[in-house]
Copies of this chain bind each other. A is one copy, B any other.
Amino acid sequence: MGERRSLSKGITVTQAALPGLTLCNNAMLRRATRKLGQFYDDMLAPSGLKATQQGLLYQILIGDEPAMGAIAAALIMDLSALGHTLKPLIRDGYVETFADKDDRRVKRVRLTPQGLIKLDEAMKLWSLAQQRFEAMVGKDEAARLRAALDDIAALDFDMPPAAPSK
């Protein structure tokens, strides 16, 4: 009666008994991200920007010539990852960087005029995507979801499982 698969100390369970990945918070989050990402990317396609790039340009716009570290922190993104992601945007002339006047370690970022124009174009498409999405799930539900996601982003996972005590 049905395949058996071991799963932890010799225990064997019938396949039907294994819960889907629907139980993993992380897997579900990733899956939804892929799905929604495809939608936003499709909607933004006419601008030539990916949703991630549009989001990054916007983050740069609202920051006041933000330092890379500041952007990375705001997006909860690895600093080096940010650096990599920024390259295509610099290459395409949408963004430029410059050293901070007081601290030469700090590299600040700003949009170029073309970057501003491109972002402007992308924001209109983003707005449509946002509207279509919220029309489907409901504005309230969307807001609730964003709030929940913001809470997760704010969690503090510090200390290892076992508290070092004392």
Q: Are B59 and A21 in contact (CB under 8 A)?
A: yes
Count identical subunits in the complex. 2
A134 in the interface, Cβ–Cβ < 8 Å?
yes
A1 in the interface, Cβ–Cβ < 8 Å?
no
Task: Report, nearest first, the 9 A-B pairs whose CB atoms are least far apart.
Answer: A32-B149, A26-B40, A28-B149, A27-B55, A32-B152, A39-B157, A33-B33, A18-B62, A28-B146
Residues of A near any B CB (own CB < 8 A):
3, 5-8, 15, 18, 20-40, 42-43, 51-52, 55, 58-59, 61-62, 64, 74-77, 116, 119-120, 123-124, 126, 128-130, 132-134, 136-137, 141-142, 144-146, 148-153, 155, 157, 161
